[in-house]
Structure 1
Amino acid sequence: MTYSNTDFNNKTILITGGAGFIGSNLAFYFQDNYPDSRVVVFDCFRSEVTFANGNLQSFGHYKNLIDFTGDVVCGNINSKPDLALLDDYKFDYMFHQAAISDTRVYDQEIVMQTNVNSFYDLLNKAKNDDAVMVYASSAATYGSLPSPQTVGIENPENPYGFSKYMMDQIAYRYSRENPDMTIVGLKFFNVYGPREYYKAKTSSMVIQLGHQILDGKAPKLFEGSDQILRDFINIEDVIQANIKACNPKQNGTYNVGTSNPRSFQDIADILQHELGTDLGTDYIPNPYDGYQMHTQADISTTQTNLGFEPVVSLEVGIKAYIPDIKRLHGTDIS
């Protein structure tokens, strides 16, 4: 399925973080729909290095790229010598997905170096190549602000959210200084779908609960989960947003969600329906003070300026995801 009238054939496309969840889905979108495009994946790939919280520093995984036929460049966006490897290419489109995306990493130095410093380098590359820049911002810029979350009203509450907020400010300034450039940031809400498995503990509750159920266990949820709502968006709609961001009516940052929040209980119930189980629910106390109870993306400007319309409901998205959830159940995550 193609999402715009743009012909990416005979174009050179960079995807940073291309071995990760969203990046690898983008890589296969171009490969499947524009076979004459040249797709370059830039990723540092997974190592065993972890943060203080025990989570991996990089989630890029070679298994996300099995059957990919484009170019793969292994490199770290923190390294100028690694980034210099991209000078062998002149890009038409740049999709910047690489980042430290773990909201529970509080090492401010490494988060800011990785997410902010590298953005300057990639914007300069986009300017020199006359390339379109579409980058991953985040709904984490909103912190715990009440719904609906609206672009321009933001209050980041962790280093990751602040780093994405700073990227947005850099993009705004760069757009003003370079009015001929196309620069669009996308604030993803709760994304789920194939190729997220190797995010391990930071993968969506859809696959985590699915695997709990396949283990024969009742899905584990916080008490009151029927009242805890999130704006869950399927990877297919996220790809749609990225593609439509290549031809915006105007530069800016845009929310990418459904604007139709659903509960964690809904996810568990849909999974049990699709998996043919009736295990009930294991409710546990919520240990977090100030836990966010509701997110809802205001997508009005995304609809107006990008022509974005989410089409995959939670029921349809989970049903389509079930074969992959089953396939990966019990497989080695390393």
Structure 2
Amino acid sequence: MIMTYQPKNLLVTGGAGFIGTNFVHYWLQTYPDTHLIVLDALTYAGRYSNLASLEGQTNFRFVKGDILDQALVETLLRDGKIETIVHFAAESHVDRSIYGPDAFLRTNIDGTHSLLKAAKKVWLDENPGFEHRFHHVSTDEVYGTLSATDPAFTETTPYAPNSPYAASKAASDHIVRAYQHTYGLNTTTSNCSNNYGPYQYPEKLIPLAISNLLQGKPVPIYGDGQQIRDWLYVDDHNRGIDLIIRTGRVGETYNIGGNNEQTNLSLIHTLCALLDERFPESPQVPHQQFITYVTDRPGHDRRYAIDNRKICHELGYYPAETFQSGLAKTLDWYLNHPHFWQADEIQLFGSHATAKEQA
């Protein structure tokens, strides 16, 4: 029998970033009788405008602040009667982690530990027996890389992170597990594959490609473009998190995948074909003419793949979107929100920035 946990008051960290924004909208639409506080430092990839449509709702509050501020988190937990934390806040761009790892260690490791200390103090030390959940959102990159014939990552795959980003997330996963095992904090963890969808910052592959193709600018492809990723539509991810919070077993890890393995190059060809169909009279047809190969990044993992049978069998999860339907929805959103990817404050990094400047 599955025991159901019913969140009423949530603290969502990183709720103005890509996945966090989509989760906040998803959650408040699905559970309008709950209350939700977003805590976000509004660094380069977080935008308060992502949540502007929620202004004035009595069950929504935004707080600009850092997860490293333990006193602030404790105050929010107490004042908001928070019993559920959903932890998205993280530095997540691999390229940036290669050239500036300090911020990743600080946010992803120290920041997660700060949250855990606050949760332990308020939920365990001050209120023994208080029902609570701490859900930690992680990545499949903690498992390392696969060959073309290796079986997909499972929840028992040994950790073998290959980038500073992946290493920082692996460390945070271990710290969360330790707080559950040592102190009895009620935690769950999810490791997801590559997300895509609305509100994704335009330094990541799909929104970068969309914005560049729409402007007739080069689309940078690392190396030979044969790196394989499992692509997960963001609201399929959020439905998985929802299931884990409400019906997942405390102390467990669940992998969430989209069952959509694609090479980077085939993904971009699919996107180019979609744009050719939408804009057949455009002088940019065929859009694949803008594909540009750039030097591969250091330590680039060849393949990620998620085995999501555990969450499917235990919690009834399934991804609702195919890659084609999810990509079409994503393209529609970016076409309808040009201000998002044309904004002056967009700060691209490395070869992505170079590709922008070539036009």
Please report the TM-score for the alignment, with normalisation by the length of structure 2: 0.78
Per the alignment, residue 47 of structure 2 pairs with: 61
Is contact 1:218–1:279 with CA below 8 Å preserved after alignment? no
Question: Post-superposition shift, 1:243?
Answer: 0.2
Question: Post-superposition shift, 1:74?
Answer: 1.1
Q: Matched residues in 2 for 1:159 and 1:6: separation? A: 35
CA distance 1:25–1:259, change in 2 (3 Å): same
AA matched with 1:209: A
For 1:13-28, list aligned pairs within 5 A.
13-28=10-25
Q: 1:26-74 CA deviation, whole Å, 9 max, x = no partner? A: 111122122221110011113xxxxxxxxx4xx2101111111311111
CA distance 1:317–1:126, change in 2 (3 Å): same
CA distance 1:222–1:114, change in 2 (3 Å): closer
Per the alignment, residue 332 of structure 1 pairs with: 343
Q: 1:273-313 CA deviation, whole Å, 9 max, x = no partner? A: 33224233434254345533322112222323443222211
Is contact 2:236–2:321 with CA below 8 Å preserved after alignment? yes
CA distance 1:315–1:125, change in 2 (3 Å): same
Per the alignment, residue 97 of structure 2 pairs with: 105
CA distance 1:111–1:257, change in 2 (3 Å): same
For 1:48-197, list aligned pairs within 5 A.
56=44, 59-68=45-54, 69=57, 70-86=60-76, 87-103=78-94, 104-106=96-98, 107-127=100-120, 128=123, 130-146=131-147, 147=150, 148-151=152-155, 152-179=157-184, 181-196=185-200
Unaligned runs of 5+ in 1: 47-55
Query: SS state of the match for residue 174, structure 2?
Result: helix
Q: Matched residues in 2 for 1:263 and 1:228: separation? A: 5
Per the alignment, residue 221 of structure 1 pairs with: 221
CA distance 1:234–1:140, change in 2 (3 Å): same
Q: 1:72-92 CA deviation, whole Å, 9 max, x = no partner? A: 111111123432431322213
Residues paired across the two proteins, number:
312
CA distance 1:169–1:262, change in 2 (3 Å): same
Per the alignment, residue 317 of structure 1 pairs with: 326
Q: Matched residues in 2 for 1:333 and 1:188: separation? A: 31
CA distance 1:287–1:166, change in 2 (3 Å): closer
Is contact 2:260–2:322 with CA below 8 Å preserved after alignment? no
Is contact 1:41–1:72 with CA below 8 Å preserved after alignment? yes
Moved more, 132-141 or 300-309: 300-309
Identity %: 24
Q: Matched residues in 2 for 1:145 and 1:220: separation? A: 23
Query: In the alignment, does 2:291 pair up with 1:280?
Result: no
Q: Matched residues in 1 for 2:293 and 2:102: separation? A: 35
Per the alignment, residue 127 of structure 2 pairs with: none
Query: SS state of the match for residue 67, structure 1?
Result: helix
Per the alignment, residue 257 of structure 1 pairs with: 257
Query: SS state of the match for residue 321, structure 2?
Result: coil
Higher CA-based Rg? 2
Is contact 1:16–1:96 with CA below 8 Å preserved after alignment? yes
Q: Matched residues in 2 for 1:45 and 1:289: separation? A: 28
CA distance 1:258–1:14, change in 2 (3 Å): same
AA matched with 1:40: I
Q: Matched residues in 2 for 1:279 and 1:98: separation? A: 35
Moved more, 69-78 or 285-294: 285-294
Query: SS state of the match for residue 149, structure 1?
Result: coil
Question: Post-superposition shift, 1:315?
Answer: 0.3
AA matched with 1:130: E
Query: SS state of the match for residue 82, structure 2?
Result: coil
Q: Matched residues in 2 for 1:172 and 1:255: separation? A: 15
Q: Matched residues in 2 for 1:258 and 1:200: separation? A: 21
The structure whose residues are more often helix, as a share, is 2
Question: Post-superposition shift, 1:189?
Answer: 1.7
AA matched with 2:257: G
Q: Matched residues in 2 for 1:223 and 1:114: separation? A: 30
Unaligned runs of 5+ in 2: 124-129, 278-284, 346-359
Question: Post-superposition shift, 1:252?
Answer: 2.3
AA matched with 2:109: V
Query: SS state of the match for residue 63, structure 1?
Result: helix
Q: Matched residues in 2 for 1:66 and 1:90: separation? A: 24
CA distance 1:63–1:257, change in 2 (3 Å): same
Query: In the alignment, does 2:291 pair up with 1:296?
Result: no
